[in-house]
Amino acid sequence: MGIDFNFGLQSINFRPKVQLNNHKISFGNTIIPNDSFQRTSVEKFFDENYIKTSISQNQEIKNILNKHNIPLKLNMEELKDIQSHHCKDTQEIASGIVKNLPPALKQNANIRYIKDAAILHDFGKVLIPAQILNKKGSLTPQEHEIMDLHTTLGYELLKNSGIDNEILNLVKNHHKDGFTTNINQKILNIADKYSALTENRVYKTAYTPKQALTILLKEVQQGNIDPVIFNALVKSVSDTSANNKLHTS
């Protein structure tokens, strides 16, 4: 059954394709129960000692940095700022999307995976030079290449932590557009984009929710964003706007 979307922008009709995902949680060779690894526990990785240990035990991280002439320097202040603002905002947006999915699709989304990955998705930016993270102007092609490494670096920093492989893959692939059957990845991708559009950055001012949705609608039309998930985002944004008006009236 198709679903019609209309946000005062354009009507579109779409049919979802989904895939079930198996999951488990492991630490080393030991499998532990899912309920023993709570959502909030992933924030423990935002620790300088953990990151230093991870780097010392993973030669691939050093190889990536050396290949791109990136100095080995931790930008903990930037990481903590990203965690407390953009990552938590992305987590809230993703949760709102899940809440507003059609029931048939909602049952295939893993909210714990999504929320944990939302907090961790920019973890690799701790190794991206601050002058690139905080650059006010446009990035050069070389700087873009280095910035894009944050997904792989985040994966490498976390891959021996005991985090579930699905969460690790979401961290690694959250910027990948286009067709994927991974519902969790689709949700994280659009939540990340909407958060980035609607917050102030050193290189831009925040877009309004309607402006951000208009931009994302173009990506829907280009096939980069799942229209069903976009529709759920629209509903979530509409609900949030209505609640804010109710509390301020």
Give the tens place of pLDDT for each residue, 203-244: 889 999 999 999 999 999 999 999 999 999 999 999 877 666
Written as one letter, the residue type at 210 is K
Greatest CA separation for the chain: 56
Q: How high is the pLDDT of residue 41?
A: 83
Q: Is the pLDDT assigned to residue 32 strictly greater than 80?
A: no
At 31 the three-state DSSP class reads: strand
More confident residue, 225 or 11: 225
17 or 111, greater pLDDT: 111
Indicate whether 247 pLDDT > 60.
no
Task: For the chain, list the domains and their CATH numbers.
Answer: 38-248 (1.10.3210.10)
- Averaged pLDDT for residues 33-58: 79
pLDDT at 178: 65
- Strand partners for 30: 27
Write down the pLDDT at residue 4. Answer: 45
Alpha helices in the chain (DSSP H): 48-56, 59-67, 76-82, 88-99, 103-106, 111-120, 130-133, 141-148, 150-158, 165-173, 183-197, 209-221, 227-248
pLDDT for the residue numbered 240: 79
CA-wise closest residue to 42 among 203, 207, 190, 168:
168
pLDDT at 180: 80
Each residue of 101-154: pLDDT tens digit?
Answer: 999 999 999 999 999 999 999 999 999 999 999 998 899 999 999 999 999 999
Predicted confidence at residue 204, as pLDDT, reads: 85
Q: What pairs with residue 4 in β-bridges?
A: 13
Please tell me the distance from the alpha carbon of residue 147 to that of residue 198, in angstroms, as a whole number.
20
Residue 126: name the closest of 95, 157, 103 by CA: 157
Q: How many CB atoms lie within 10 A of CB 219?
A: 15
Q: How far apart are CA 48 and CA 1, in angstroms?
A: 50
The whole-angstrom separation of Cα 121 and Cα 2 is 32
Query: Pick the residue with more confidence: 181 or 50?
Result: 50
Residue 58 has pLDDT above 60, yes or no: yes
Cα gap 155→239, rounded to integer Å: 34
**pLDDT at residue 26 tops 60:** no
H or E segment and range at residue 32: strand 30-32
Residue 70 pLDDT exceeds 60: yes
Distance CA 162, CA 208 (A): 39
Q: Would the pLDDT of 246 be above 70? A: no
Average pLDDT, integer, range 70-94: 96
